[in-house]
Amino acid sequence: MTSHHTNPLLDFGGLPRFSLIRPEHVAPALESLLAEARAERERLLSENLTPGWDTLVQPLEDMNEKIQRMWSPVGHLNAVMNSEALRKEYDACLPKLSAYATEVAQDERLYAAYKQIAASDQYRSLDPAQRKIIDNTLRDFRLAGAELSGEDKKRFGEIQQSLAQLGSRFQNNVLDATQAWHLHLTEENQLAGLPEFAREMGAQAAAEKALEGWCFTLDGPSYLAFMTYADSRELRQQLYQAYVCRASDQGPNAGEWDNGSVIDEMLALRQEAAHLLGFENYAEYSLATKMARDVNQVMEFLKDLATRSRPTAKKEFDELSEFASKYDGTDTLAAWDIAYYSEKLREYCYAFSKEALRPYFPESQVLPGMFEVIHRLYGMTVEPLTDVETWHPDVKVYEIRQADGSVRGRFYLDLYARTGKRGGAWMDDCVSRKRADGTVQTPTAYLVCNFSAPVGNKPALFNHDEVITLFHEFGHGLHHMLTQVDYVGVSGINGVAWDAVELPSQFMENWCWQREALDVIARHYETGKPIPDDLLDKMHAAKNFQSAMQMVRQLEFALFDMRLHAEFDPAGDRTVQQLLDEVRAEVSVIPTPAFSRFQNSFGHIFAGGYAAGYYSYKWAEVLSSDAFSKFEERGIFDRKTGSEFLHSVLEQGGSRDPMELFIEFRGREPDVEALLRHSGLAA
């Protein structure tokens, strides 16, 4: 057992010492903390003190935070600097964490103590954030099987452990399958149609693999660029097939990292866990912690949006088919043609290519511009920090300060795609805000994206979608960093209902479309000029291009997820694929080839916490569109409205019910019309 002094994972003085963390530190650090936590819990429960906030809840909250502070950099490094050794340690520790969580959640003495606190006079004198933590904890006890007995309780614990391991296996399979395949091209003519940035990216990828020519991978930026611009239909089909067959029984690496059985096993275990707790299905269990009332409400919400958007989506697809036929005689559109002809149609209709905007979004303008937006809305400034250790030379660190110079939050920014880094974009918490001994702990976030790194001597140039992604993740970051709640359990994003957690992130995206904000965010990297009016007009005209097709695609994922967890019988005759095909028949307008195995890489619901919760994206989009409409009425940089949003939403964390917070800000319940209007689908 290593001593504390040599294990950087047990030093909570400040921010993580990434350069000192080694895979072999992980297990000893975790075991040492779990042993300490078990001893502390025993001590608290055996001292025969009357259970209360100071005698039980706060000490346990502090212990949980210690474990979280140790585990956070480990999980983070596993996602951004994945290595064989670290992955092995990470995976080996998951069952230990899961076993500990289950053991705490099923401790009957602890459950009884929390019930006693909730029924006491002291409970009524606590502040709302403290009461919310106690209420959430009681709910979580029930959801973790605290009321089960004997064999059922034991079985529930085993299921939770198995699910944690299966989720990690699912994610590893997708990562391995993504990195195992690439399209290697050696002839210049195979690149026909690709813009300069995509060719450079391909050449760089080939050089990294010590190959001649160009490589196109299944990582987001590379895959999307090729599918959107490559003229060769045959090569697009190859790339598409490899992508949609990742981690499945189909495609170029068929059967090698197949998630099919992982999915079947997870669904059966989720259903069994839900039944043990007395829920009809896993969807009901999942919704117990969310803003939506029940499965019915979610299904009606999704079906209503589908009914309103599918006819337009069908029309958009027919227009695309007709265009492809005229453009180059392509009669029947295949799935690998959609992005390609959509881009051509967009250029034809609006004389607008997304690539035309890229020179206006150099990183050197976008970042300071985004910080200026925050300054105008909330009166805060963002300053770089230079003396903070990071996990990679590309990572930058910043802090957010109030007008009086006091620090509100810090964040790490890791923008570029690289080998060993999980795809996608996300925000995660490194340190949560809390007040202890009169001092406030500065909340710290990880903000991670996968954009193309600078090539040659040009700065990194983002496309508009990437700028939107950056604002989205920064919105999550602000929710975490600007909180004014003093208790970790409900500060920042902690304890926020899952279907409300996307409100601050989607809300931030709106500024990426407004002239006033774009003048701050966007300047041509060579001339320093803002986006010209005619280009901006085209960008706005094209904003809702195919928005109905995008809407039904998201609804397809959400309906598949909800039905999979509400009505699918893992032991029945119908397969997961058949259910997905049924949903597609109902809402989709794009043909999907039989070999496609989308579900096998649908990490959101099998490895990302979105099980029976994918609808949250659309649900929160209704909230964010409606919240932004208040700025449209008063001015997008109206400081008073900014302060109201800051106070009612960003500062409150999970301390209050999200519907109550929304009504406080907007003066009424959310209305779906703003979303339809922003998507160009209003009647």
Catalytic residues, by residue number, are 473
Task: Using DSSP, state whether 570 is helix, strand or coil.
Answer: coil
509, two tokens: 């995206």
In degrees, rounded to 5, the angle at the alpha carbon of residue 21 between the alpha carbons of residues 16 and 26 is 105
> Which H or E run contains 136?
helix 128-143
User: Which residue in 220, 224, 239 sits closest to 194, CA to CA?
Assistant: 224
Rounded distance, CA 613 to CA 377, Å? 31
Report the Cα–Cα distance between both ends of the chain, in Å, rounded: 67
Are 165 and 272 in contact by the 8 Å Cβ rule? The answer is no
- Can you list the alpha helix ranges (DSSP code H) found in 394-545? 464-481, 503-509, 515-521, 533-543
Measured over the CA atoms of residue 535, residue 536, residue 539 and residue 541, the dihedral's sign is negative
Range 254-290 burial, b when 16+ CB lie within 10 A, else e: eeebbbbebbeebbebbbebbebbebebbbbbbbeeb
Rounded distance, CA 10 to CA 6, Å? 9
Residue whose structure tokens are 């700028």 = 467
- Phi/psi of residue 435, nearest 5 degrees: -110, 125
In the DSSP assignment, the letter for residue 531 is P
- The partner residues of 183 in beta bridges, in order of sequence, read 216
Residue 189, CB half-sphere, CA atoms under 13 Å: how many?
Answer: 0
